[in-house]
Chain A
Amino acid sequence: MKDIDGWKSVLTDQDRAKKYREYVTGWEKKIGSLLEWKLPEAGKIKSSEGILASVPFAVKDNIAVEGFKLTCGSKILEYVKAPYTATGVANLQKTGALVMGKANLDEFGMGSSTDNSALQKTNNPYDTSRVAGGSSGGSAAAVAAGIVPFALGTDTGGSVRQPAGFCGVYGLKPTYGVVSRYGLTAYASSLEVCGVCARTVDTTRTVFHAIRGMDGMDQTTIDYDPVSPEVKTVGVLKVEEGSLSEEVAASYRVSKDRLNKLGYAVKEIEIPAMEYVVPAYYTIATAEASANLARFNGMRYGLSPIFAESPDDLMRYSRNMGFGEEVKTRILLGTFVLRSGFQDQYYVRAQKIRTLIRQELDEIFTDCDVIMLPVFPTAPFHHGQSELTSFQQKQADVYTCLANMTGSPGLAVPSTLEKGLPVGVQFMAPPCGEERLFTVAEALEKEFPAPRPAGYSEEWRA
């Protein structure tokens, strides 16, 4: 039986629904992965025939689901309810799946720890003193804890893959445009996409195929042809000594060995422009963010003062009070790199570097079917910035934001536990090469399935 099938009765069977509620409540006290959750009353669910009939799932709280709040982890949207549903979510609902809650995140997706959520703290299910990663930390933690079989996240620079790696689950960032962005609160429009966190490769694949598709509401969506791939050659990114923490370096070596054991042709690769990826990425991401977040001004919806003397006053108050410091920092940075006189030096140059990086990746994919690279240079770190400053966290996006710069798909795969903490490894394929990623991940999964944190249980739904 497929893992997902075990979830089809947790909401329809009264006894199981009760146990489910207890299980979720128990975990939520420890990890705080969900900002809002509600299980439908037992008996109120119509049985449906869809492939995900009655399966509960969580949605990152920057993706719109009508009737649920859409806080984006920000005070400025704390009380706003989404008046519509994102295309990806609507597609899943058509298969019978049910939204059970909204997952915590770094404010507007800006961060790698979920500590930047203005509303709630989310802990790693393996060690609650540590972060779950980010920005889709709530989604990954909820899946790792077994609260839901899968959750939707968004990935702008690694926001699905990095927390998936930190929580020991699968995290897919699809090819740009293969999944509609309609309903995804924009952070960096040309880089991001809706992604999937799941416990198994099979569930990841099922959900991916459910959410993807051309969308009349998103003119950047593209066609996807699911061809059965044959993966022979895996390019393994050569990583400089000292760029990875001891644990991650050890885990990375293990992953390489596993590829050899599974019979793949392993080839060491280098990406010459790699050192420019992060600066170019942050230039583009913050520039787009500065425009995308301009709409939040306390008018029409969102945090607004009780009294304001003028419209300008109202907007300024709302933004000053509503945004956290990381968000303000990125808005300011993005505003600056677009200013006349600076735009060529920063923004336009970054877009050109983006072209170069794509060219280098295209070249690599001429003789590699997929490439392997780390997800993040460290294992899950402690809350706060004592281990990694905000600036270091940004620099650490290097392995994940590569796929956002090129538009390629990337999949974080649970690799090993190091000192009790999960460490993941990442695979990338050329655009629309998702099936290749699933093929490799499934081969690895057979031998090395996703780990389980203490307290994880499937008993209650047996």
Chain B
Amino acid sequence: MNKEELLTTASLALLELEEGEVDRLGEEIARMLDYFEMMTKLDVDGLEPTTHAFQKTNRLRADVLNNNNNNNINNAFNRNLIMENGNDVEDDFFVIPNVL
């Protein structure tokens, strides 16, 4: 992967690499991608991709309210901690800078 590809990838991942990181991370990633190349040796024709460990299907959740408002133990949570974790909270809104 060349530097340009690396930077495009970084911007997709919302990471901004410093010069040193471009070299260090770039080298490690290149090494891994070389290693991954080995996979092309294998004939994978006719194999379905495994996307889930076990292909169990049809798990649906009934459309009923279930959060701490009705004290359902399955989804109990502490709202105060959620607000405390907020970096900047005003009137129960999370505040972030505006795009000017």
Contact = CB atoms under 8 A, between A and B. Distances in A.
Interface of A: 66-67, 80-85, 90, 176-177, 190-191, 216-217, 219-220, 222, 273, 275-276, 278-280, 282-283, 290, 294, 297-302, 304, 308-316, 319-320, 323, 325, 328-329, 331-333, 335-337, 339, 345-346, 348-356, 358, 390-391, 394-395, 406-407, 431
A83 B82 contact: yes
20 contacts: A80-B85, A190-B53, A217-B75, A276-B38, A282-B32, A282-B36, A297-B14, A299-B94, A311-B97, A315-B14, A320-B15, A325-B25, A328-B15, A331-B13, A331-B15, A350-B39, A352-B49, A353-B42, A355-B50, A407-B53
Contacts of B25: 325, 328-329, 332
Contact of A325 (B21, B85, B86, B87): B21
Interface string B83-95: 0111100000010
A354 B50 contact: yes
A301 B47 contact: no
B29 A329 contact: yes
Given A282-B36, A298-B87, A301-B86, A82 B81 contact: yes
Given A216-B61, A310-B97, A81 B84 contact: yes
A313 B100 CA distance: 12
Nearest to A345: B40
A426 B76 CA distance: 37
Contact of A349 (B21, B40, B96, B99): B40
A352 B47 contact: yes
A280 B94 contact: no
A354 B49 contact: yes
Contacts of A313: 97
Given A67-B78, A280-B39, A302-B87, 15 more contacts: A190-B51, A190-B52, A217-B74, A220-B53, A222-B56, A276-B42, A299-B96, A300-B94, A301-B87, A320-B16, A328-B15, A339-B9, A354-B49, A394-B32, A406-B53
A283 B36 contact: yes
Contacts of A358: 50
Nearest to A80: B85
A346 B56 contact: no
Contacts of A299: 87, 94, 96
Contact of A311 (B31, B40, B75, B96): B96
A398 B32 CA distance: 15
A309 B97 contact: yes
B49 A348 contact: yes
A336 B39 contact: no
A80 B86 CA distance: 9
Interface of B: 1, 5-6, 9-10, 12-17, 21, 24-25, 28-29, 31-33, 35-36, 38-40, 42, 44, 47-54, 56, 59, 61, 73-79, 81-82, 84-87, 94, 96-100
B15 to A, nearest CB: 6
B9 to A, nearest CB: 5
Given A66-B81, A348-B49, A333 B96 contact: no
Contact of B42 (A190, A273, A346): A273
A349 B44 contact: yes
Contacts of B13: 290, 294, 331-332, 335
A287 to B, nearest CB: 11
A104 B18 CA distance: 28
Contacts of A333: 29, 32-33
Nearest to A280: B39
Contacts of B42: 273, 276, 353, 356
A350 B35 CA distance: 13
A301 B56 contact: no
A454 to B, nearest CB: 37
B9 A355 contact: no
A222 to B, nearest CB: 6
A83 B15 contact: no
Contacts of A310: 97-100
Given A314-B96, A352-B47, A332 B29 contact: yes
Given A297-B14, A332-B25, A336-B9, A351 B36 contact: no
A391 B97 contact: no
Nearest to A273: B42
Contact of B15 (A66, A220, A319, A351): A319
Contacts of A312: 14, 99
Nearest to B77: A84
| A-B residue pairs, 3 tightest by C-beta | A351-B49, A407-B53, A219-B59
Given A177-B56, A190-B51, A300-B94, A352 B28 contact: no
A290 B84 CA distance: 27
Contacts of B96: 299, 308, 311, 314
A217 B76 CA distance: 11
B27 to A, nearest CB: 10
A85 B77 CA distance: 8
